[in-house]
Amino acid sequence: MRIRRALLSVSDKRGLVELARTLADLGVEILSTGGTAAALEAAGVTVVQVSTHTGAPEILDGRVKTLHPRIHGGLLGRPTPAHEAEMATHQIAPIDLVVVNLYPFEATIAKADTTLAHAIENIDIGGPSMLRSAAKNHERVTVVVEPDDYGEIIAALKADGGVPPRRRLALAQKAFAHTAAYDAAIAAYLSALPEGAADAPEAVPARRPLPDTLTVQWQRRYDLRYGENPHQEAAFYADARSPLGNERGARPTIAGAEVLGGKQLSYNNLLDLDAALGLVLEFGGPAAVIVKHNNPCGVAAGDDLATAYARARAADPTSAFGGIVAVNREVDLALAQLLAETFLECVIAPGYSEAARAALAGKKNLRLCAAGGDWAPRAGQKSWSIRTITGGALVQTVDTGLVAATDARIVTKRAPTAEELAELDFAWRVAKHVKSNAIVFTRDRATVGIGAGQMSRVDSVKIAERKAQSPVKGCAVASDAFFPFRDGVDVLAEAGATAVIQPGGSVRDEEVIAAADEHGLAMVFTGMRHFRH
């Protein structure tokens, strides 16, 4: 299927001129529209305006320009004698290559000042129509939606003048996924509009965080050896429309991380890496997190990463064996040497120095993950958390909230000292990422004992105390949710805690506060709960 005629119409113009010049050099006729045609002509590439090709002008403010039989007939005509004869009768020339990416609808609606009218005008109609026509007829037509694919197309054209059938099918699959995700974004936007939005199209609508229609598209990144257990099949999918973390200013993600060495990540590795990354992103200074079975077993801050990691490992060295480590600075040689001392599954960091890579080269089963993006602590991008249950899904906004200890309400007779407040803030950030019921003891910005996932909060306190590698006397304590009875506070006081941070909100808050006063504890309420089920 030699390419003789191509239609180029793109919003993202990366690599466009190089592709067009290659087509022109190979004698391919180039059809184009609007800004794409202007960009190509400015670069010295000869193009034929779509309006010239169709004999019909662009009308209705550009809403109609490619919706024409000479475009879609040129795309949908099959290489059969009957179709070729009919196309000739109607003077329809075949179009063999379509390069289209769509109006940036999601980027448009992400702007705070986007009105409903402006959003509607950024819904692409001609682009998706051409993509669908071309993708349906991949038997003859090559369709391209991503600039990253241009290099492969150029190589194929230079070698054979066309694109092989298998690759045309793969590109068609990508095109249909692209248009499906585009339509899903539009449906989500429109179904999140408040009642009466149509009455004021020039206003910026206040959208609901959870739309009536939720269609989320994930793309398979790679198959996994198995799921949680060896008898379960599994694969890793990434959100097709969300930043992977490599874009400038985007938050780091596991989906966007590069695995620098070692065997493939497992299902459980990915879950633990995500948990570790989420927690370490709470801290601005050097910090290290060790996660085991989706719960932190050691968290610490320090003047440098090596110090932070050593303190985190010391919090629970038994559980650290076979764990997942996350740090929020580039791994240097000093940290690498410490990491090499213990069997670990994975490490995730912004990057690794050459010396660190060399020091860890002998750890054949250790996966080193480098995640690009902005590692600074912040509220994070608005996004959904989706968990499936039998017959449906539970959808919520991601928990990006956090009330700092300095903003919490002091409820006891004794106020925490400045040092206790700083310690409570550290403990509170850790507790947010521990499975409920969660209790976290900390000292000097390092965890001492963590109690996680218990049915009774008192049991969580006792487990945290039992797992502590050093005395818990003098520790600050964080509880992810309120104490339903005073017994939890009594146990904390008996263990030697001096200050407690919790959300408050129990019907027995007064009883709990009275217990804290009896024991001389300082207690603050944040007013924000952080359950993790």
Q: Residues 6 or more apart from 85 whose CB is under 8 A from it?
A: none
Question: Which candidate in 83, 118, 174, 293 is catalytic?
Answer: 293
With beta carbons less than 8 A apart as the criterion, state whether 422 and 405 touch: yes
Is 136 assigned a catalytic role?
yes
> Three-state SS for 20?
helix
Cα(524)–Cα(124) distance, integer angstroms: 52
Question: Which candidate in 13, 83, 118, 136 is catalytic?
Answer: 136
In this structure, the strands spanning 287-292 and 295-301 are antiparallel
Work out the widest C-alpha separation in the chain, in whole angstroms: 96
Cα(493)–Cα(473) distance, integer angstroms: 9
With beta carbons less than 8 A apart as the criterion, state whether 37 and 49 touch: yes
Cα(394)–Cα(338) distance, integer angstroms: 41
Cα(417)–Cα(425) distance, integer angstroms: 12
Q: Which residue has 């045609």 as its token pair?
A: 37
Q: How many CB atoms lie within 10 A of CB 404?
A: 12
With beta carbons less than 8 A apart as the criterion, state whether 320 and 327 touch: no
- Phi/psi of residue 408, each to 5°? -75, 160
DSSP structure string for 25-90: HTT-EEEE-HHHHHHHHHTT---EEHHHHHT---BTTTTBSS-SHHHHHHHH--SSHHHHHHHHHT
Q: How many CB atoms lie within 10 A of CB 475?
A: 27
With beta carbons less than 8 A apart as the criterion, state whether 448 and 472 touch: yes
Q: Which two tokens stand for residue 232?
A: 């379960």
Is 519 assigned a catalytic role?
no
DSSP structure string for 392-414: EEEEEE-------GGGSEE-SSS
Q: Which two tokens stand for residue 86?
A: 């009919």
What single-letter amino acid sits at 484? P
Cα(141)–Cα(79) distance, integer angstroms: 10
Residues noted as catalytic? 136, 293
